[in-house]
Structures are given as C-alpha cells and as structure tokens.
C-alpha cells in the first residue's frame, strides 16, 4: 500500500468523532487484551521447552495455532544444545502440505536443511503441530456444513526463506499467515551457530553482563519515534497515553536474524508493537550500537 493511501486511511479514521466515554472504554479494553496476551506468552514460554538428545528427536508437543503464532520466537529459543551440524549445503522443500475442505485452505511448505538434521527435527515438530491444529479446527468449523459467505473462510499459509548464511550463522525464516475473518502474520526464525550446532538465543550474540536488552530496547524505541516523525502514517506503541500498550523491554526470547551486512535485525509479529495494519515490524540495529557489547565474530 502506498504512503498516500495509508495517510488517506489515517485521516479518514481520525476525522470520525468519538465520544469521550467510548474512547476510554476502547482504550481500556485494548490494554486489558494486550496484558492478557503477555501473560499467555509468559505461560507458554515456561511450559514449552523442547529437549533434543544426541541421536534422538525432540519430544513431541501440540499447542493451539494461536499460541504458536503469538509465541513464535520461543520455538527456536527454547532449544537445548543439539548435535553439531554437518556442512549446511542448501535448503529444499522437503514436502508441501495442501488442503481444501469446506471454507478452509492450507498451503504449508516444509523445508529440509541438508546437513542440519537437528534443525529439521525442530521444523518437523513445529509444522506437524500446525497441521494437526489446522485439521482439528477445520473439522470443528466445517464438518457437516458449507461456509456461510465470504467471511466464513479460514486459510493458512507458511513459506520459508534463508535469511542468514555466513561463516558463523545459518538462519532459516518461516513466515506464517493465518486468515480467519482477519489476517494475522507471524514469524519463526531458527538461527544456528555453525561452530557448535546450537540453535541460538539472542543472548548468545552478546557478552556476559552486557545489559544488551536495555541497549537494544532504547535503540528500537528511538527508531520508532524517528519513523513516526518522518512518516505520519506509521504508528508504534512507544509513547502511548495508555502505558500498558507501550513497548518497554525487549524479550530475551525475541525473534531475530543477522542480515547480509552483519547487522542484527529484531522482528516483531503483527500486533505486537504496533496496530495490526502495520504488519510484521522489523528494526535493523546499527553496528555502532552493538559494537561494544557483541561477542566477536557474529555482528558487524
């Protein structure tokens, strides 16, 4: 969508008069929902630890598709040490899951990393859980009936791409779009340290006691302010009058990857730090911000 279109939408929206009592009620409801989402995320992270042993696959787990979408960073972050990878050569589509039932449709590309058996196990667990939940949802929604109009449709799409492939790190990104009345976009990224075979957490990029979360949080907050100042069609939750909406601290389980310039990129799911119309939000952290706190060899 062009910036002019976004501005027209914003102007039209802001021109609608809103009673003071209604505005207060809506804001309070948004704050309540956002706080509840954070609680659910915290609960999922505590209960969803995957352990991979040498020569063994990860323990199977099944969670609801909404929970998976809202906590995508944890899928990669909760991994323990895994066997050292062989030489990662390429990524191919191992299989494609496609389905059309009633008003539902799904297209899920399941990648296979040649030389990355442990990552493949993690990807299989993730996509199997998604497919299982999709089939369960479809049965409950459409068994014995046809969809009632265009809004009574459910679609699920997952594609993948390689986002990092340098001497130290391999990064594979899964993009998920779920549409049920409204669209919801989320991202899962597996970052693998090629020297150890470990699926990396954000903290693995930084020196011990570097206070990296505070450093990154302040930079992202400033980027949000700068972007909104440069383009009035953009909106981030950073200085909102409802304090509970504001982005205050970067999670240790944040979704991330390293771009071609060896800069860290932080990724937020749709609706996490901005209104849904903003989609998935990404922030490139300049090397000057991380140079003093990063471990040698990972970031530019």
> According to the 3-state scheme, what is the secondary structure of 11-26?
HHHHCCCCCHHHHHHH
User: Is 8 part of a structural domain of the chain?
Assistant: no
pLDDT band per the 50, 70, 90 thresholds, residue 5: low
User: Is 36 part of a structural domain of the chain?
Assistant: no
The count of structural domains within the chain is: 2
Residues 161 and 54 occupy one common structural domain: yes
Question: What is the reported pLDDT for 294?
Answer: 97
Residues 153 and 205 occupy one common structural domain: no
Question: What is the reported pLDDT for 218?
Answer: 98
Question: What is the reported pLDDT for 25?
Answer: 47
Residues 57 and 195 occupy one common structural domain: yes
Measure Cα distances from 216 to 44, 256, 287 in Å: 24, 12, 11
User: Is 18 part of a structural domain of the chain?
Assistant: no
Residue 102 has pLDDT above 70, yes or no: yes
Question: What is the reported pLDDT for 51?
Answer: 28
Query: Where does a domain end: 148, 171, 200?
Result: 200
Summarize the confidence of residues 270-275 as an average pLDDT: 95
pLDDT in tens, 198-215: 789 999 999 999 999 999
Residues 205 and 194 occupy one common structural domain: no
Residue 172 has pLDDT above 70, yes or no: yes
d(CA 284, CA 109): 27
User: Is 245 part of a structural domain of the chain?
Assistant: yes
pLDDT band per the 50, 70, 90 thresholds, residue 106: very high
Residues 59 and 194 occupy one common structural domain: yes
Helix extents (H) in 3-116: 3-14, 20-47, 65-70, 72-77
End-to-end Cα, the chain, rounded Å? 32
Comparing 5 with 56, the larger pLDDT belongs to 5
**Phi/psi at 111 (5° precision):** -85, 160
pLDDT band per the 50, 70, 90 thresholds, residue 271: very high
User: Is 21 part of a structural domain of the chain?
Assistant: no
Domain range for 89 is: 43-200
- Ranking 5-9, 61-65, 140-144, 165-169 by mean pLDDT, the lowest is 61-65
Query: Where does a domain end: 167, 200, 233?
Result: 200
- Ranking 137-151, 205-219, 252-266 by mean pLDDT, the lowest is 137-151
User: Is 15 part of a structural domain of the chain?
Assistant: no
Residues 155 and 287 occupy one common structural domain: no
Comparing 89 with 241, the larger pLDDT belongs to 241
User: Is 279 part of a structural domain of the chain?
Assistant: yes
Residue 298 has pLDDT above 90, yes or no: yes
Comparing 17 with 257, the larger pLDDT belongs to 257
Residues 165 and 219 occupy one common structural domain: no
Mean confidence (pLDDT) of the chain: 78
Summarize the confidence of residues 87-109 as an average pLDDT: 90
d(CA 83, CA 76): 15
% residues pLDDT > 70 (the chain): 70
Residue 84 has pLDDT above 50, yes or no: no
Residue 150 has pLDDT above 80, yes or no: no
Q: Both tokens of residue 105?
A: 């449709």
Residues 177 and 230 occupy one common structural domain: no
Q: What is the CATH number of the domain that holds 129?
A: 3.30.565.40
Q: What is the CATH number of the domain that holds 291?
A: 3.90.640.20
Question: What is the reported pLDDT for 83?
Answer: 42
Q: Where are the beta strands (DSSP E) in 194-250?
A: none
Summarize the confidence of residues 132-144 as an average pLDDT: 90
Residues 228 and 109 occupy one common structural domain: no
pLDDT in tens, 180-194: 878 899 999 999 988
Q: Which of 30-44, 61-75, 269-283 is predicted most confidently? A: 269-283
Residues 220 and 194 occupy one common structural domain: no
Question: What is the reported pLDDT for 22?
Answer: 45
Pairing relationship of beta strands 281-285 and 264-268 according to DSSP bridges: antiparallel
Residue 114 has pLDDT above 80, yes or no: yes
Residues 253 and 288 occupy one common structural domain: yes
User: Is 84 part of a structural domain of the chain?
Assistant: yes
Query: Where does a domain end: 161, 179, 200?
Result: 200
Residues 78 and 193 occupy one common structural domain: yes
């Amino acid at each position: 969508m062009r910036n002019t279109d976004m501005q027209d939408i914003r102007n039209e929206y802001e021109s609608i008069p809103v009673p003071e009592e209604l505005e207060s009620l809506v804001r309070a409801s948004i704050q309540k929902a956002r706080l509840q989402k954070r609680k659910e995320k915290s609960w999922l992270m505590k209960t969803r630890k995957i352990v991979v042993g040498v020569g063994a696959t990860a323990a199977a787990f099944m969670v609801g598709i909404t929970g998976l979408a809202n906590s995508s960073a944890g899928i990669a972050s909760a991994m323990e040490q895994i066997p050292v990878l062989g030489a990662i050569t390429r990524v191919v589509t191992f299989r494609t899951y496609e389905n059309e039932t009633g008003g539902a449709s799904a297209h899920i590309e399941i990648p296979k990393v040649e030389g990355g058996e442990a990552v493949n196990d993690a990807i299989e667990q993730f996509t199997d859980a998604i497919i299982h939940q999709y089939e369960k949802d479809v049965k409950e929604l459409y068994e014995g009936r046809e969809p009632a109009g265009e809004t009574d449709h459910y679609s699920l799409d997952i594609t993948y791409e390689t986002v990092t492939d340098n001497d130290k790190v391999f990064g594979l990104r899964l993009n998920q779009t779920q549409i049920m009345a409204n669209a919801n976009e989320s991202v899962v990224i597996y970052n693998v340290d090629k020297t150890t075979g470990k699926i990396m957490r954000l903290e693995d990029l930084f020196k011990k006691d570097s206070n990296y979360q505070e450093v990154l949080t302040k930079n992202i907050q400033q980027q949000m302010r700068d972007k909104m100042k440069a383009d009035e069609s953009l909106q981030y939750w950073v200085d909102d009058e409802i304090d509970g909406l504001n982005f205050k601290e970067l999670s240790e389980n944040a979704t991330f990857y390293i771009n071609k310039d060896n800069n860290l990129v932080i990724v937020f799911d749709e609706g996490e730090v901005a209104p849904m119309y903003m989609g998935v939000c990404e922030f490139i952290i300049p090397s000057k911000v991380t140079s003093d706190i990063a471990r040698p060899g990972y970031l530019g």
